[in-house]
Structure 1
């Protein structure tokens, strides 16, 4: 068991860190990342091809739907995804090429933009849980502070574990905050690859 004085010092550090994070995110208290939050993307920021609003419903095209499901998965290497796009384009009749490739981008945009928004919402929930945990730690710290010397071991143990959970979550935050950017980067790259074969 850690000494109470160490736990109290750690609790103060947690509280200070929480306050600093809140100050840094004062414009959006639920956003804990250093990256600027962009809740949703727009096609115009990514796509320079034909208007996707006029492409129709990509879900009605079975082949496009299957490609969207495949290419939107980040586990599929980027070079493999781009090769799949080229192969798909090569097999299309000239009169269908632009329309169906635009449909493919529309499906990828809908799917990956929705995924990215869900990830952002998850990060915000994560931040709210961390704030709630800080409040719990503060309350437990006060309990430990007023406990007579040599007592309060249960409160100290609870404080220790909550501090540990908080710190583990805090350390994982930079990696979590990168995920929306990774989805965005992949969508940009796929859009560029599709745009290239559309213009050929």
Structure 2
């Protein structure tokens, strides 16, 4: 159940991200991890320069299909590495170029996803602060109702139930956020592992 809640929270975080480049969101960074808005190829790749590629990885249907599969975190890294090895085994003279294209596609796709997650975390944290303010206001209103001798008992109960529910939602999301803050690092680690597997499959 905990993993399902975390998956739902991550989906909400990603959905909150605007369609802009990483690092152009708000300044509401709630994580203890240092914010690195975007990766550079050198941080996760030791193979040929992907900037020197003349071809576009999207134009290679087989490469593009593999990029879509390998970039998904639900695909175990062992399966992804096996897929890379199988793909490399079928290549001939253009082996290095096509494997470099594969990494170029993975880098672009996963770096973009990572940036969206970072932007979403910032926007999510901003909304959490707004919810916290709402909880404080609801608590103040409930306190005023309880002090009012003419307040309706049903209204007090309704206000208390609403406050309890809002507080529970806020606390659950706050407790889950540290795990979501790790997701950009998970994406980076996966990209590094995939890059390493691709380099390993290249001709010596």
TM-score, normalized by length of structure 1? Answer: 0.80
Give the Cα–Cα distance (whole angstroms) in 1 for the partners of residues 89 and 203 of structure 2: 13
1:46 paired residue number? 44
How do 1:14-163 and structure 2 match up within 5 A?
29-55=27-53, 56-93=55-92, 95-147=93-145, 148=147, 151=151, 152-163=156-167
Gaps of 5+ in 1: 1-27
Give the Cα–Cα distance (whole angstroms) in 2 for the partners of residues 168 and 48 of structure 1: 41
Number of matched pairs: 172
1:25 paired residue number? none
C-alpha deviation, 1:199, in angstroms: 4.8
Give the Cα–Cα distance (whole angstroms) in 2 for the partners of residues 140 and 77 of structure 1: 45
Give the Cα–Cα distance (whole angstroms) in 2 for the partners of residues 157 and 149 of structure 1: 18
Q: What SS does structure 1 have at the residue aligned with 2:178?
A: helix
Gaps of 5+ in 2: 1-25
Q: What SS does structure 2 have at the residue aligned with 1:38?
A: coil
C-alpha deviation, 1:156, in angstroms: 2.6
1:193 paired residue number? 197
Give the Cα–Cα distance (whole angstroms) in 2 for the partners of residues 29 and 53 of structure 1: 30
Could you tell which deviates more after superposition, 147-156 or 180-189? 147-156
1:7 paired residue number? none
